[in-house]
Amino acid sequence: MSEKILLIDGHSILNRAFYGLPDLTNSEGLHTGAVYGFLNIILRILEEEKPKYLTVAFDLHAPTFRHKIYEAYKGTRKPMPQELREQVPLIKEMLQAMGVEIVSKEGYEADDLLGTLARQSEAKGMDVTILSGDRDLLQLATEKVMIRLPKTVRGKTTIEDYHAQQVIEKYQVTPAQVIELKALMGDSADNIPGIPGVGEKTATKLIVEYGSIENAYQHVEEIKPNKARESLREHYNLAQLSKTLATINTESPVDFSYEKARLGDLYTKEAFALCKRLDFKNLLARFDQTMSQELTEVKEFFTCEDLSGCEALFEKAGKQKVVGTALLSDKEEVYGLGLAITEQEIYYIPVANFITGPYLCGKIADLALNTRICAIDIKTMLKHVNLEEEHQVFDAGVAAYLLNPLKSTYTCEDLAREYEGGKMIPSREELLGKASFRKAWEEDQEGLSSYACYTAETVLSCMEPLKQALEETGMWKVYTQIELPLIFTLDSMEKTGIQVKGEELKAYGDRLAVRIHELEQAIYQQAGEEFNINSPKQLGVVLFEKMGIKGGKKTKTGYSTAADVLEKLAEQQPIIKDILEYRQLAKLKSTYADGLAGMIDKDGRIHSTFNQTITATGRISSTEPNLQNIPVRMELGRLIRKVFVPEDGCVFLDADYSQIELRVLAHMSGDQTLIQAYQQAQDIHRLTASQVFHVPFDQVTPLQRRNAKAVNFGIVYGISSFGLSQDLSITRKEAADYIQKYFETYPKIKEFLDDLVETAREKGYASTMYGRRRPVPELKSSNFMQRSFGERVAMNSPIQGTAADIIKIAMNRVYKRLKSEGKKSRLVLQVHDELLIETRKEELTQVARILEEEMKGAASLQVELEVDMHEGSSWYEAK
DNA sequence: GGAGTCACG
DNA sequence: ACGTACGTGACTCCC
């Protein structure tokens, strides 16, 4: 069998991948989708073809011989979008890392190089495969040269293959005649002019009949469609120029050596490292499993299993200013500790023999009095180790979150890569697989030891770089003054939990079940069949096809059955009201009645987790269960709050900030109208209505006030006329009108918001009053929608984020005062602008005072921070 | 695992 | 023209 060479059209395949596949972004925010798609395509082809030689051709920026003969050539070609342009060096870097030969030549296009190499290789008797997205390449097809054109339809890539024979079958012309076709038709993408009035059909007809443009011109009199005849007559010279332009130069002076192009092992260490950096997790599986071990620097880790040795280690650690730790634990138990005393002395101390979990945790707490404990998640550690704010800690996860809040996880291997100059360490999955710490402790001490040591070492090494980065970005204060103390505040809230009446919750669920069943039957009866009402797909078919309800359609996958869509159709059929009610009840039952009931611990309380490193803006989030979205707007749902009760001898005290985001906006923008309104404690929505609609303050109608309120919300979200029109069910024009009038009323706010966008565009991030940052890479996008999103984010993040900063400060202060004043009352929940305290009855007056003082005093703005406070014997009553 | 839906601020 | 309000998490269906 003859040897085979695979030739790839670099830019064309990258383009295909970019436009045909969804974009991806790695943890640094680099766009990587096209690179990923490119690799997937070529790896697939390589597996199919198994060529001996491989090379990828790229165009250069320099003008080519085509420019010399035709000035407009590619002159008006639209520039590559930013997201694609930044991937060109990445794919070249990747190919280089894989040892793949790249060819380019000034003055020539990739096509010319591919054509030249194809002919040379063919002459040597090789089989040639050319991979490109560009049909122009078909002119190169022969019996030995196959052109492969990938096509992506809805994310699925299929490949069309062409030898000379297939070209003839599909286009009725020989490969060489493809040039004639193109010269006649023209090609707007390549700026090849072509002949006016001649499209694919006419061109094919002419070439099939006459073989070439020249021969057609010889017989120009006979040409049938008058238009084509006259056009060819008039533009013959142009057609010949086009032909020159469209002809691939198969004798380009390309520097090429088959030796260098010989296909070797693609799965090199360098490529592995780059795949890791770009987050190509699926590709990593193709690499040798020992790769990551070979890549990481070999460092000796030690294991200490005896009590006296362990004592000695902690004594040594106590002489350090800072150590790295990795406490291996789950909710119930501690399994061991990774301890990096210095960057060279790294130990794994498993729980074994006389070394118990509580013993280890006690040693850590003692150590932390004089030595700073670095870890990646201090709050989890606090579940076993009794640390207070007087202990010294550093949370590398929280620090990394502040530096880039857009990541979804903050893992050790990312820290090492990002803050230790690209250093590679194995991930938890690589070391332990999917095993829990418990399982690994039982079955894989070696893996657990490595994991503990790598983690301890990394958090130690990363502390200084993280600290420095926080200082350089002006976020050191946010870290030390807000986030670090917040770890202890949140930990206390999680440990305290909130009492929930399980039986009442069950009874509530049962009541729902009765009504849900009734609705189910009514819906089946009206639909004339039983189906799964919870399936939007089935529901859509029943409503819009079977029952013929008008006005459906939306979404990629079918009909939209969202509440706002159905509400507009409720008139048509009574079934719709039943479905809406069913949906509401089903939600209440599954998520709240049943969901919460399953989360009640043995102590009769629910202990949610408050996540500190999730949101892009600086808010906290709540999971397992989410206690920040307990129903309140509808009465039926609101009743659930009756099962959240304080323990005996306590009441709930609930305080929420009144319109904190608008107040933040007033302060940050310095708009005097808004500031004065708040100073005079005016109804802000009514005021906005009176000014925007030009009516006296006391003659504002409820509708006008409602509209003004929506505008105020819109401003905070990053206003757009479309969004506002959706919300108010008005036309875009009317919405735009409201917005315009709003900005006339509050000119400083317009200025302020414009400035937020401009600053974010220049700096690449938006900032809160306290200096917390949120990167906004979307502002640089070439996609209108993405960019508009970036603009709204740039307006919203500083406002939402500043409010988040303020309530975090308030929480820390409240927590601290309750503690320092020896109170038994405890903070139990935070819901973004609301704090809930389980308050001892005898402490009520003082706690109310503490809560009000600390919330109001958390920030001093140009407007007062107003707080609404209520007490009650359930969350329902305290709101 | 993604899409659709819906609960909250 | 493009086609969305900002920030979350849980549940269900369905590939």
pLDDT digits (tens, 9 = 90+) for A296-338: 666 789 999 999 999 999 999 999 999 999 999 999 999 999 9
Residues A443, A406 share a domain: yes
Q: What is the mean pLDDT of residues A141-148?
A: 96
Instruction: Give residue A292's pLDDT.
Output: 66
Instruction: Give residue A138's pLDDT.
Output: 95
Any strand B atom closer than 7 Å to A536 CB? yes
Domain presence at residue A734: yes
Query: Left, alpha or beta for A550 (phi > 0: left; psi -120 to 50: alpha)?
Result: beta
- % of chain A beyond a pLDDT of 70: 97
Give me the sign of the Cα torsion angle A207, A212, A214, A219: negative
pLDDT digits (tens, 9 = 90+) for A543-594: 999 998 887 777 777 899 999 899 989 889 999 999 999 999 999 999 999 9
Residues A507, A468 share a domain: no
Residue A701's CATH number: 1.10.150.20
Please report, rounded to whole angstroms, the spatial distance between the CA atom of protein residue A558 and the C1' atom of nucleotide C13.
Answer: 14
Residue A788 CB burial class (10 angstroms; 0-12, 13-18, ≥19) = middle
Please report, rounded to whole angstroms, the spatial distance between the CA atom of protein residue A435 and the C1' atom of nucleotide B5.
Answer: 33
Residue A208's CATH number: 3.40.50.1010
Please report, rounded to whole angstroms, the spatial distance between the CA atom of protein residue A564 and the C1' atom of nucleotide B4.
Answer: 13
Q: Which of A216, A208, A206, A221 minimizes the C-alpha distance to A236? A: A216
Model confidence at A75: pLDDT above 70: no
Domain presence at residue A854: no
Model confidence at A190: pLDDT above 70: yes
Any strand B atom closer than 7 Å to A550 CB? no
Backbone angles phi, psi at A421, to 5 degrees: 60, 45
Residues A327, A256 share a domain: no
- Separation in Å, CA A21 to CA A34, A46, A160, A178: 7, 20, 18, 29
Residues A206, A58 share a domain: yes
Best mean pLDDT range from A104-108, A662-666, A739-743: A662-666
Residues A546, A437 share a domain: no
Please report, rounded to whole angstroms, the spatial distance between the CA atom of protein residue A327 and the C1' atom of nucleotide B3.
Answer: 38
Instruction: Give residue A236's pLDDT.
Output: 85
Please report, rounded to whole angstroms, the spatial distance between the CA atom of protein residue A785 and the C1' atom of nucleotide C3.
Answer: 8
Please report, rounded to whole angstroms, the spatial distance between the CA atom of protein residue A588 and the C1' atom of nucleotide C3.
Answer: 32
The span from the CA of A579 to the CA of A324, in Å, is 56
State the CB neighbour count (10 A cutoff) for residue A659.
20
Cβ A9 vs Cβ A134: under 8 Å: yes
The span from the CA of A295 to the CA of A155, in Å, is 34
Please report, rounded to whole angstroms, the spatial distance between the CA atom of protein residue A414 and the C1' atom of nucleotide B9.
Answer: 32
Nearest nucleotide to A408 (CA to C1') is C8
Regarding predicted confidence, which is higher, A212 or A128?
Answer: A128
Nearest nucleotide to A722 (CA to C1') is C4
Instruction: Give residue A94's pLDDT.
Output: 96
pLDDT digits (tens, 9 = 90+) for A168-179: 999 999 999 999
Residues A16, A86 share a domain: yes
Residues A465, A595 share a domain: no
Instruction: Give residue A241's pLDDT.
Output: 84
Best mean pLDDT range from A67-71, A419-423, A563-567, A854-858: A854-858
Any strand B atom closer than 7 Å to A580 CB? yes
Instruction: Give residue A230's pLDDT.
Output: 85
Residues A195, A76 share a domain: yes
Nearest residue by alpha-carbon distance to C1' of C1: A784
Q: Is A149 helix (H, G, I), strand (E, B) or coil?
A: strand
Q: DSSP per residue over A277-302, as a string?
A: HTT-HHHHTTS-TTHHHHHSPP---E
Residue A565's CATH number: 1.20.1060.10
The span from the CA of A784 to the CA of A808, in Å, is 35
Alpha helices in A351-481 (DSSP H): 357-367, 378-381, 396-403, 412-419, 428-432, 437-443, 445-472, 476-477
Query: How many Cα atoms sit within 13 Å of A495 on the Cβ side?
Result: 15
pLDDT digits (tens, 9 = 90+) for A801-839: 999 999 999 999 999 999 999 999 999 999 999 999 999
Any strand C atom closer than 7 Å to A779 CB? no
Instruction: Give residue A129's pLDDT.
Output: 97
Instruction: Provide the Cα torsion A555, A556, A561, A563; round to 10°.
Output: -30
Regarding predicted confidence, which is higher, A792 or A281?
Answer: A792
Residues A153, A87 share a domain: yes
Domain presence at residue A653: no
Please report, rounded to whole angstroms, the spatial distance between the CA atom of protein residue A557 and the C1' atom of nucleotide B3.
Answer: 8
Please report, rounded to whole angstroms, the spatial distance between the CA atom of protein residue A677 and the C1' atom of nucleotide C6.
Answer: 24
Domain presence at residue A452: yes
Please report, rounded to whole angstroms, the spatial distance between the CA atom of protein residue A595 and the C1' atom of nucleotide C11.
Answer: 9
Domain presence at residue A495: no
DSSP state for residue A695 in the 8-state scheme: -
Cis previous bond, A89, omega within 30: no
Residues 631-690 of A with CB under 7 A from strand C: none
- Beta-bridge partner residues of A148: A131, A161
Residues A242, A303 share a domain: no
Please report, rounded to whole angstroms, the spatial distance between the CA atom of protein residue A635 and the C1' atom of nucleotide C3.
Answer: 34
pLDDT digits (tens, 9 = 90+) for A398-451: 999 999 999 999 999 999 999 998 888 888 998 999 999 999 999 999 999 999
User: How many structural domains comprise chain A?
Assistant: 4
Going by pLDDT thresholds of 50, 70 and 90, the confidence category of residue A682 is confident
Q: What is the mean pLDDT of residues A371-388?
A: 97
Domain presence at residue A879: no
The span from the CA of A721 to the CA of A714, in Å, is 9
Any strand C atom closer than 7 Å to A629 CB? yes
Instruction: Give residue A153's pLDDT.
Output: 66
Nearest nucleotide to A536 (CA to C1') is B4
Any strand C atom closer than 7 Å to A723 CB? yes
- Beta-bridge partner residues of A346: A340
Nearest residue by alpha-carbon distance to C1' of C6: A717
Question: Residue A429: which domain range?
Answer: 296-472
Any strand B atom closer than 7 Å to A408 CB? no
Query: How many Cα atoms sit within 13 Å of A679 on the Cβ side?
Result: 11
Instruction: Give residue A294's pLDDT.
Output: 67
The span from the CA of A462 to the CA of A376, in Å, is 10
Long-range contact list for A213-220, CB < 8 A, 24+ apart?
A213/A180, A213/A183, A213/A184, A213/A239, A213/A240, A213/A243, A214/A240
Q: What is the mean pLDDT of chain A?
A: 92
Residues A449, A368 share a domain: yes
Cβ A142 vs Cβ A122: under 8 Å: yes
Q: Is A82 helix (H, G, I), strand (E, B) or coil?
A: helix
- Beta-bridge partner residues of A187: A192
Instruction: Give residue A237's pLDDT.
Output: 83
Any strand B atom closer than 7 Å to A189 CB? no
Domain presence at residue A612: no
Residue A467's CATH number: 3.30.420.10
Residues A698, A582 share a domain: no
Strands A322-329 and A334-340: antiparallel
Choosing from A798, A822, A845, the residue where a domain stops is: A798
Q: Which helix (H) or strand (E) holds A657?
A: strand A650-657
Strand B bases contacted by the protein (CB, 7 Å): 3-9
Q: Which of A74, A720, A480 minimizes the C-alpha distance to A728? A: A720
Any strand C atom closer than 7 Å to A731 CB? no
Choosing from A599, A625, A658, the residue where a domain stops is: A599
Nearest nucleotide to A620 (CA to C1') is C8
Nearest residue by alpha-carbon distance to C1' of B2: A557
Domain presence at residue A638: no
Choosing from A798, A817, A852, the residue where a domain stops is: A798
